[in-house]
Structure 1
């Protein structure tokens, strides 16, 4: 069975399924969402699946239903006593997700993007964050990376800053993971900052160094991961590609540049400038 997906601007999804010939609507029929991983069947979300014209069934995932962050496989339970059947992707209408701009004061932002798995089945990628720092324009030059974005669920206050945190914890010479802090400029929910590359290069100790980008809305506020979620691209790493530029340091020449992780979080990669400096990791 195939399911067409229609997204709305609030973050809801409608699933229209082409049912097998002769299928009769049953009150217990449901669209079933199961998270990947062990014990997934015990954490499934069931949505009522009812008739929607001849040979069609419809289920709705409203924006008001919280779907935890992760990957969700999509099934149809026709209420006929058989196991739920994995759905195949049909036609998607995701136009409302492109340049989606929720109200800045939203307390918790939910994002759901349907996609096709490597095996050809239908799945959903879901994010649930609050507050959320949405990356928009990214400008890269020899001196660093400039990020412009929008903050949801909070407003900028005194002491607002962006942080680059070295992934992997403490390193030689540091009791805690190194953090490079830069000030934010902006007003209300709009922000801009420039992260210079020199402090990252000075802390390089070999191999691949990943600096994850966070935002603090004010002094003492909890940090918020900077990511790009508000569009129709489920995995941005291979789609939104930014250059890694050469930067000199005492140990030699490095290449430094931003990229999106598989979770669409924004990170800076620092590596040597050798012939094998390409990113082959899955993070």
Structure 2
């Protein structure tokens, strides 16, 4: 049944709408307008969205407590953290419904706007409420034991310079940035970094280095994607460079960088579906 056709205890009931506030400590406060008797026991359900072809896993339930006439409130504490992925919000306990999707209401994300300051510790756990493309309320979550937060990206000539900060690791001997080409014949380009202390660093990617030795796309072929990592010390596991510490759940369509054209190709930095930093190198487009 659609939201406008659902029938509650005393007639038609609007589909519930959820408001979410992210607090500085990382907890989520959820407020839901739902006309139910005070004796009802509705619950908030955050359901992880399964990957294509995989079964649905168990979700996270939180009790909704009465908070005024037709108002209910739940608090999702910072711990335990949500696993990385997208979590759809539902209400369970509405008469006649197995689970009811929440429509998006006000989302107070002011605690996230300042980004990753010096006070943030590892592991990095992030929760960002957002409205899905089909108009529902969901939460985008990341959990990373080690993380490299991308900052400012400056484009100049045929290169880009990125500032970043490490969480959960320290820079030491042999620290370097590496770009890994996606695909079966993975190639790697290693780049020196400039350290400012043991966590802050910057690096410059010369796009020309990504097209040498067959690294770039051929004429008329699909673009080549290079994923950006940092190795904090020699022999350490690589850490993905990403931008997670603010209020933007889907950065890919929000931060769109211009392409640099040189020779027969074009190159541009971009953020992936998971807000990870990559570089796309493609054939030069004809106008």
Q: Fold match, TM over 0.5? A: yes
Decide whether the 8 Å contact of 1:104 with 1:151 is kept in 2.
no
Return the offset for 1:212.
0.4
Greater shift, 45-54 or 177-186, is seen at 45-54
Q: Which runs of 5+ in 2 are unaligned?
A: 1-15
Q: For the structure 1 residues 25 and 229, does the alpha-carbon distance in structure 2 shift closer, same or farther, using more than 3 Å as the test?
A: farther
Matched residue, 2:8 = none
Instruction: Say yes or no: does 1:201 pair with 2:211.
Output: yes
**TM-score for both structures, normalised by structure 2:** 0.86
CA distance in 1 between counterparts of 2:217 and 2:118 reads 42
2:280 counterpart of 1:269 = yes
- Normalising by structure 1, what TM-score? 0.87
Which segment drifts farther, 82-91 or 264-273? 82-91
Deviation at 1:275, TM superposition (A): 2.8
Which residue of structure 1 aligns with residue 47 of structure 2?
A: 34
The counterpart of 2:37, out of the listed 14, 23, 33, is 23
Q: Report the equivalent of 2:201.
A: 191
Structure 1: how far apart are the matches of 2:152 and 2:255?
A: 11
Please say if residues 212 and 267 of structure 1, whose CA atoms lie closer than 8 Å, have aligned partners that are also in contact: yes
CA distance in 1, matches of 2:39, 2:82: 26
- Which residue of 1 is the match for residue 229 of structure 2? 214
Question: Are 2:44 and 2:90, in contact at CA under 8 Å, matched by a contact in 1?
Answer: yes
Q: Are the equivalent residues in 2 in contact too, given 1:103–1:152 (CA < 8 A)? A: no
Asked whether the 8 Å contact 1:104–1:153 carries over to 2, the reply is no
Contact 1:255/1:271 (<8 A) preserved: yes
**Does 1:45 find its partner at 2:55?**
no
Q: 1:104 to 1:151 in 2, by over 3 A?
A: farther
Distance 2:25 2:242 in 1: 19
Alignment partner of 2:266 out of 242, 255, 258: 255
Distance change >3 Å, CA 97–CA 52, structure 1 → 2: same
| Structure 1 equivalent of residue 13 of structure 2 | none
- Which residue does the alignment assign to 2:154? 139
SS of residue in 1 equivalent to 2:211:
helix
Q: CA RMSD in A?
A: 1.8
Is the Cα–Cα contact under 8 Å of residues 94 and 100 in structure 2 kept in the other structure? no
Q: Which runs of 5+ in 1 are unaligned?
A: 171-176, 277-283
Q: How does 1:113-192 map to 2 (within 5 A)?
A: 113-170=128-185, 177-186=186-195, 187-192=197-202
Deviates more, 1:195-204 or 1:264-273: 195-204
Tell me, yes or no, if the aligned pair for 1:49 and 1:59 is still in contact at 8 Å. Answer: yes
CA contact (8 A) 1:225 1:265 kept: yes
- Residue 161 of structure 1, CA deviation: 0.8
In 2, Cα distance between the equivalents of 1:168 and 1:23? 56
Post-superposition offset of 1:169: 2.7
Q: Judge conservation of contact 1:30–1:79 (CA < 8 Å) in 2.
A: no
